[in-house]
Amino acid sequence: MKLNRSFLYALLATFLSLILFFYASSSQYQTQAKTSGDIATETYTNTIKGVPLVLRYDSDKYFVSGFASEVTVDLSSSNRVLLSTETQESSRTFRVVADLTNESPGLVEVPVTIEHLTSGVTAKVEPESISGTIGLKKSKTFKVDLASFLSQIPGGASLMVADDDKEVSVTSNEELLAQISAVQMVLPEDWDQTKNYNGEVSLQAVDANGEVVPSVIEPETISIRIQLKTEEKK
């Protein structure tokens, strides 16, 4: 009788030991799985504004206008080092591109894509597409409109411009080029109009209403000298 009781006690103890063992193993596995899952799903994000947009097209044949020059990119990764590398302009590998090579002249809308992004980093670009105009490239020579600039400076002042700078080349598409009525000098923002000025001024092409026409002007700036009448008397 005592032998049977001892056997039953031993059997019960073994059963309880097995239950405790499996319970402990299960708890440890669930904890490890939960920890691993937390690490795998932890994601870091960063938003980069003002990322340059590369327009891919035949620049010898076409002139493009109206397209955005910068976009915003949202980056995400579970690796902080990779995310930091792609965030910094000096170390990032990706670039944002709008491919116009298969588009015909006219108003077009194309998707914005990201190329050469490091593996382990995902990205979303805003806007996802951009629109603008593609036109046949054409150039024309214009005289710089000195009269419009003189009307903006104090009366009696003299304006001196080198002969080589009085004519410039303007490049745009055929339609826009036909709209240009003048190439004007832009009044320097840093000029104190109570003093003489000797320096560079930028140029812009405008239509008959004075609206700026998208174009490339060569040279972009010219050298001028403004001599005020009051200064001449000193």
User: Looking at residue 196, which CATH number applies to its domain?
Assistant: 2.170.120.40
Last residue of a domain, one of 57, 92, 127: 127
**Listed residues 108, 127, 146: the one ending a domain:** 127
Share of the chain above pLDDT 70, in %: 80
Q: What percent of the chain has pLDDT over 90?
A: 69
In this structure, the answer to whether residues 150 and 228 fall within a common structural domain is: yes
User: How buried is residue 150: exposed, middle or buried, by Cβ count under 10 Å (0-12/13-18/19+)?
Assistant: middle
CATH number for position 71:
2.170.120.30
Identify the band that residue 233 occupies on the pLDDT scale cut at 50, 70 and 90: very low
* Statement to judge: residues 55 and 119 lie in one domain: yes
For the chain, the average pLDDT equals 86
| 157 in the same domain as 108 | no
| Residue of higher predicted confidence among 21 and 136 | 136
150 within a domain of the structure (yes/no): yes
Give domain status of residue 113, yes or no: yes
pLDDT tens column, 188-204: 888 888 889 999 999 99
Residues 166 and 101 in one domain: no
Output the pLDDT for position 139. Answer: 97
Domain extent, residue 102, equals 44-127
Q: Can you tell me the distance from the alpha carbon of 205 to that of 140, in angstroms, rounded to the nearest whole number?
A: 12
pLDDT at 175 over 80: yes
DSSP per position, the chain: -HHHHHHHHHHHHHHHHHHHHHHHHHHHHHHHHHHHHHHHH--EEEEEEEEEEEEES-TTTEEEES--SEEEEEEEES-HHHHHHHHSTTT---EEEEE-TTPPSEEEEEE-EEESPPTTEEEEEESSEEEEEEEEEEEEEEEEEHHHHHTTS-TT-EEEE-GGGSEEEEEEEHHHHHH--EEEEPPPTT--TTS-EEEEEEEEEE-TTSPBPP-EEESSEEEEEEE-HHHHH-
Strands 182-185 and 44-56: unpaired
Do both 49 and 116 map to the same domain? yes
pLDDT band at 234, cuts 50/70/90? very low
Query: Could you tell me if 185 and 111 lie in one domain?
Result: no
171 and 142, same structural domain?
A: yes
CA-derived radius of gyration, the chain: 35
Domain assignment present for 122: yes
Compute the average pLDDT of residues 37-58.
85
What is the CA angle 212-213-215, rounded to 5?
125
Within 8 A by CB and 6+ apart from 85, the residues are 91, 92, 93, 118
User: Quick check: is 208 in a domain?
Assistant: yes
The Cβ of residue 65 has, within 10 Å, a number of other Cβ atoms equal to 15
Q: Is 14 exposed, middle or buried (0-12, 13-18, 19+ CB in 10 A)?
A: exposed
Task: Flag whether 28 is in a domain.
Answer: no
Statement to judge: residues 73 and 160 lie in one domain: no
Number of domains in the chain: 2
Task: Give a yes or no: residue 179 inside a domain.
Answer: yes
- Determine, yes or no, domain membership for 1: no
Residues 108, 193: one domain? no
- Find residue 130's DSSP bridge partners: 110
Q: Which of 66, 101, 127 is the last residue of a domain?
A: 127
